[in-house]
């Protein structure tokens, strides 16, 4: 079995590596543009489009038993939060998440290379953020960590100091819902362990 990860995210690469699965990275060129969709429909759409882009590009060079994985993650707190566009944007997002519960939703789409068969799922995890002071938000922003993260925080980094607790799949919050990947591959008759 060959896995192609249609994402350049170092977090997703790290999660796959921890599973002891060998894989290849082929970043997708798909450009995410927020469209008028419900959060779950949106992340499933983005995940599929990412996998599809790589599948189409590699189609003639795909080894037998290849599976292309696409994934997309958003933060949802009444509104959809992607990556912040500026420090001010990051500040606004973190203020909006302070002292509240929100959802992190990922779409995961896997395309079987030999048949083009697609299985897409999503996963949602609740995250509780404690009350954040303006000063600590500013300190956090100056660490540089928020700039490329959906919702302007990284649960696997300094941002863990903001998280009170979670309910659901942790790896979904980082960017790749491992339990859903296991289930999708099982539906393709592949046992990851």
CA 125 to centroid of chain Cα atoms: 12
Q: Nearest 5°: phi and psi at 13? A: -60, -45
Nearer to a second copy, 26 or 128 (CB): 128
- Residue 177: CB minimum distance to a second copy, A: 10
- Residue 47: CB minimum distance to a second copy, A: 19
Q: Is 29 a catalytic residue?
A: no
- Point out the catalytic residue in the list 29, 53, 65, 72: 72
Nearer to a second copy, 2 or 124 (CB): 124
Q: 166 and 127 in contact (C-beta within 8 Å)?
A: yes
DSSP-assigned beta bridge partners for residue 128: 101, 165
- Residue 30: CB minimum distance to a second copy, A: 27
Q: 88 and 147 in contact (C-beta within 8 Å)?
A: no
Site residues, a second copy (CB under 8 A)? 15, 18-20, 130, 136, 139-140, 143, 155-158, 160-161, 163-171, 178-179, 182, 191-193
The SS3 of residue 106 is strand
Catalytically active residues are 72
């Amino acid at each position: 079995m060959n896995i192609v990860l249609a994402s350049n995210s170092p977090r997703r690469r790290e999660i796959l590596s921890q599973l002891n699965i060998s894989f290849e990275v082929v970043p997708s060129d798909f450009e995410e543009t927020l469209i008028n969709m419900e959060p779950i429909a949106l992340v499933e759409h983005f995940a599929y489009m990412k996998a599809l882009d790589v599948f189409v590009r590699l189609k003639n060079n795909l080894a037998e038993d290849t599976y292309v994985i696409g994934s997309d993650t958003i933060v949802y707190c009444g509104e959809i939060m992607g990556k912040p566009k500026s420090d001010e944007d990051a500040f606004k997002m973190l203020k909006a998440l302070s002292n509240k519960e929100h959802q992190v939703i990922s779409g995961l789409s896997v395309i079987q290379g030999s048949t083009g068969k697609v299985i897409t799922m999503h996963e949602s995890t609740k995250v509780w953020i404690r009350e954040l002071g303006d000063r600590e938000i500013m300190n956090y922003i100056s660490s540089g960590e928020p700039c490329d993260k959906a919702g302007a925080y990284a649960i696997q980094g300094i941002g863990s100091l903001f998280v009170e607790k979670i309910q659901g799949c942790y790896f979904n919050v980082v960017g790749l819902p491992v339990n859903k990947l296991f289930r999708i591959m099982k539906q393709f008759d592949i046992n990851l362990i």
